[in-house]
Amino acid sequence: MKNWRVFTGYLILILIAISMLYPFFAMLNLSFIKNEEIFSQAGKIFYSGITFENYRNVFQQIPLSRYFFNSLLVATITTIGQVIFSALAGYAFARLKFPFRNLIFLIVLITMLVPPQVNIIPLFFLMRELHLIDTYQALILPGMFGGFGIFLMRQYFLGLPKDLEESARIDGCNILQTFFKIALPLALPTVATLALFTFVTTWNSFMWPLIVTNSESMRTLPVGLAIFKGSFREITLWGELLACSVICTIPVIGVFLIGKKYFINDIMQGGVKE
């Protein structure tokens, strides 16, 4: 009976994995098919007549390399900033005692309840007053601070044994040394999880980059892909669109594969109760 339950569980997981992977597999395969043959080849697992024409065309029709660079730069810097500020703030809320600490943390939690769309207009006016419209600063700065990251890091630091920090202080470490040498290395799985979420969210961001960028040289991949799709008049170039979509997903998959070990470790640690 136990073996049957294990087999059933694995079978269900395999079916779920196939249902999630098949759309990506189909997108990847169809991106190598000529536009006039895409619908006739739809539904097949393997196709004949593989070509790289779609990828060559999309790089010739739009500055895809520039869009890719902008998205990679914005997502990378935003992720680094989010991790640094969230870790520092989370550690301060978890370990330091200062006036109105609980009240300030409550305000941070309240910001998580506000829909991101509500903040777009005041953020836009703020960027305009600072003369940052159509700049990298406007794309990066709002994403470097967030209540979710602070909450996530605070909860992890609350679970760290205080004996480790007290031992570090006895050895002569100040609060910053204790943070960087003791607390932060132990929080690496949680840091990797936060970095993964932040990178994927920033990479896929569409509304904010669309609002604060005007020139083509500042567009990110999602915005460039949407404008490229909107430029079609008589016929939709599905092959080029699928090629763009494949290119958009490559960095996200790469980041997940790099941080997969830490992400899984963080989930396992969260499920263990002492």
In the chain, where the domains are located: 63-231
The CB-side HSE value for 112 (13 A sphere, CA atoms) comes to: 11
Question: Which CATH topology does 63-231 take?
Answer: MetI-like fold (1.10.3720)
State residue 18's pLDDT score.
86
Question: What's the rounded mean pLDDT across residues 218-243?
Answer: 81
103 pLDDT tier (thresholds 50, 70, 90): very high
273 pLDDT tier (thresholds 50, 70, 90): very low
pLDDT surpasses 60 at 82: yes
CA–CA dist 151, 89 (Å, integer) = 9
Q: pLDDT tens digits, residue range 24-61? A: 888 888 888 877 777 766 556 666 667 788 888 888 88
- In order, the DSSP letters of 43-103 are T-SS-SS--SHHHHHHHHHS-HHHHHHHHHHHHHHHHHHHHHHHHHHHHHHHH---TTHHH
The CB-side HSE value for 35 (13 A sphere, CA atoms) comes to: 12
State residue 254's pLDDT score.
86
State residue 194's pLDDT score.
92
pLDDT surpasses 60 at 269: no
State residue 2's pLDDT score.
64
State residue 151's pLDDT score.
93
pLDDT surpasses 70 at 100: yes
